Amino acid sequence: MSRNYRFRVVNVFAAAAATSASRLSGNPLAVIENAQGLSEMEMQQIALQFNLSETTFVLPSTDADARVRIFTTTFEMPFAGHPTLGTAHVLRALGRAGDALRLHLNAGVIPVVAQGDAWTLTANIPTHRAYEYSRGQLARALRLNEDDIAGAPLWMNAGVEQLIVPLASVDAVARAQPRLDAFAEYCSNAREAQAYVYALDDATRMVSRYFWGHASAIFEDPGTGSACANLGGYLLADGAAVPLAFDVHQGAATGRPCLLRLSVDEHKRIHVGGRVVELMHGELQLD
């Protein structure tokens, strides 16, 4: 008996303009519409087959609108922003949810709401810990000058732990170019080496980049919703006044520009949103 699984590919954090170019912007995501019957090993292999930064697998849930598992090409993620938003968009398109829903991820139940094709999640309350190396060592890892580091980096965790690094200028963000050996040594946690660098462009706009990898290769993500949520947590830890809101621009260096909306409300709840567009659909044939 053949096993066929329907999938959709969406772009998350796509540019706002309704053009063909904007539909091809954002961070791509594959969503397996109904993953019942797939083993964990098969989910991992399918994620590698799509070869996108993440692939999600939708399953039934008793405490949310859906159970969602998120896989990169090599491991399962407890939480990620663009997979959460993109999966919510697909569930609404399938008629399984409306403009407000709750997704059960490994990191817990995440609420998501929509206005048209703009989706927004509310992140978990973040925790943080101090960065364990010097500013000079971090600057070396990012191939920057020490005075490009604008404040104390922190390991933030609003579902997945990431190193948040404030930089002094948009130019410094553009110049960041991690060194393989130093990046693996000075920017690693238990999961992988990674760093999210950002700088203010004006009062309501930020520019960011997210690097991840290991001693043999470093990659750059076009649009990282989990890191944007951690940025909200960093701003709170740094004493920022609330409410606050920023447009966060990421992905230009990858050729896939992304626009993320970050806000922290008066109750210090962190919200990350962006536009989602469906690009293609099809069917996996496994047997």
Of 71, 70, 83, nearest to 225 by C-alpha is 83
Residue 54 known to be catalytic: yes
Contact 11/24 with Cβ under 8 angstroms?
yes
Contacts of 274 (CB under 8 A, 6+ apart): 12, 13, 14, 26, 82, 85, 118, 119, 223, 225, 258, 259, 260, 261
How many CA atoms lie within 13 Å of 189's alpha carbon, on the beta-carbon side?
17
Cα 142 to the center of its chain, rounded Å: 20
Chain length of the chain = 287
For 132-168, letters b (16+ CB in 10 Å) and e give eeebebbbbbbebeeebbbeebbbbbbbbbbbbbbbb
Catalytic residue among 33, 40, 42, 54: 54
Contact 109/138 with Cβ under 8 angstroms?
no
- Identity of the amino acid at 137: Q
CA-only gyration radius of the chain, Å: 18
Contact 48/238 with Cβ under 8 angstroms?
no
Residues labelled catalytic: 54
